Amino acid sequence: MAAIPAILLMGPTAAGKSALALALAERLGGEIVSVDSAQVYRGLDVGTAKPDPATRARIPHHLIDVLDPTQTYSAARFAREALAAIADIRGRGRVPIVAGGTMLYFRALSEGLSALPAADPGVRAEIDSRAAREGWPALHAELARVDPLSAARLQPTDAQRIQRALEVWCVAGVALSALQGQRADAAATLGATLRIALVPSDRKRLHEAIARRFDAMLAAGLVDELRALRSRYALTPELPSMRCVGYRQAWEYLEGRIDAQALRARGIAATRQLAKRQFTWLRTTAVAAVDPYAEAAFDSVLATATRACGVGSQAH
Whole domain around residue 175: which residue ranges?
121-179
SS (H, E, C) the chain: CCCCCEEEEECCCCCCHHHHHHHHHHHHCEEEEEECCCCCECCCCHHHCCCCHHHHHHCCEECCCCECCCCCCCHHHHHHHHHHHHHHHHHCCCEEEEEECCHHHHHHHHHCCECCCCCCHHHHHHHHHHHHHHCHHHHHHHHHHHCHHHHHHCCCCCHHHHHHHHHHHHHHCCCHHHHCCCECCHHHHHCCEEEEEECCCCHHHHHHHHHHHHHHHHHHCHHHHHHHHHHHCCCCCCCHHHHCCCHHHHHHHHCCCCCHHHHHHHHHHHHHHHHHHHHHHHHCCCCEEECCCCCCHHHHHHHHHHHHHCCCCCCC
Mean pLDDT, rounded, for 251-255: 98
CA–CA gap between residue 143 and residue 160 (Å, rounded): 13
User: pLDDT at position 186, please?
Assistant: 64
Q: What is the CATH number of the domain that holds 190?
A: 3.40.50.300
Question: What's the pLDDT band for 136 if we cut at 50, 70, 90?
Answer: very high
Say what the pLDDT of residue 115 is.
67
| CB 15, CB 201: distance < 8 Å | no
What pLDDT band is residue 315 in, cutting at 50, 70 and 90? very low
Name the pTM for this structure: 0.79
210 and 288 assigned to the same domain: yes
Mean pLDDT of 70-87: 93
pLDDT, tens digit (0-9, with 9 covering 90-100), for 89-132: 999 999 999 999 999 899 889 887 766 777 888 899 999 999 99
Q: Which of 71-85, 110-124, 175-189 has the lowest mean pLDDT?
A: 175-189
Is the pLDDT at 177 greater than 90, yes or no?
A: no
- Percent pLDDT > 90 in the chain is 81
In whole angstroms, what is the distance from residue 38 CA to residue 222 CA?
A: 14
pLDDT value at 316 more than 50: no
Supply the CATH number for residue 142's domain.
1.10.20.140
Whether residue 297 is found in the same domain as residue 195: yes
Asked if pLDDT for residue 6 goes beyond 70, the answer is: yes
141 and 160 assigned to the same domain: yes
Question: Is residue 30 situated within a structural domain?
Answer: yes
Whether the Cβ atoms of residue 199 and residue 288 lie closer than 8 Å to each other: no
* Residue pLDDT, tens place only, 202-234: 999 999 999 999 999 999 999 999 999 999 999
Question: Are residues 26 and 57 both part of a single domain?
Answer: yes
Identify the band that residue 311 occupies on the pLDDT scale cut at 50, 70 and 90: low
Q: Are residues 276 and 293 located together in one domain of the fold?
A: yes
- 23 & 136 share domain: no
Say how far apart CA 126 and CA 80 lie, in whole Å.
31
The answer as to whether 188 is a domain residue is yes
Please state, in angstroms and rounded to a whole number, the distance separating the CA atoms of residues 39 and 78. 12
Q: What local confidence, expressed as pLDDT, does residue 215 receive?
A: 98
**Domain's final residue, options 134, 161, 179:** 179
Query: Among residues 193, 189, 182, which one has the least CA distance to residue 84?
Result: 189
Domain membership of residue 91 (yes or no) is yes
Average pLDDT of every residue of the chain:
92
Same-domain status, 282 and 193: yes
User: Is position 315 within any domain?
Assistant: no
Mean pLDDT confidence for 251-260: 98
In angstroms, the CA 302 to CA 194 distance is 12
> Structurally, how many domains does the chain consist of?
2
Collect all residues with Cβ–Cβ distance below 8 Å to 75 and sequence separation of at least 6: 104, 105, 107, 108, 113
Q: What is the pLDDT of residue 2?
A: 66
* Residue 8 near residue 289 (C-beta atoms within 8 A): no
Same-domain status, 128 and 262: no
Instruction: Tell whether 244 is covered by a domain.
Output: yes
Q: Give CA–CA dist 100/102, Å, rounded.
A: 6
- Domain co-membership, 228 together with 97: yes
Looking at residue 266, its pLDDT comes to 98
Residue 316 lies in a domain: no
Q: Is residue 42 part of a domain?
A: yes
Final residue of a domain: which of 148, 179, 210? 179
Q: Is there a single domain that holds both residue 161 and residue 202?
A: no
More confident: 118 or 184: 118
Number of neighbouring beta carbons within 10 Å of residue 34: 28
Burial of residue 210 (number of CB atoms within 10 Å: 0-12, 13-18, 19+): buried
Q: Are residues 95 and 130 located together in one domain of the fold?
A: no
Say yes or no to pLDDT of 18 above 50.
yes
Q: Give the residues across from 95 on adjacent strands.
A: 30
Residues 150 and 289 in one domain: no
Residue type, 252: E
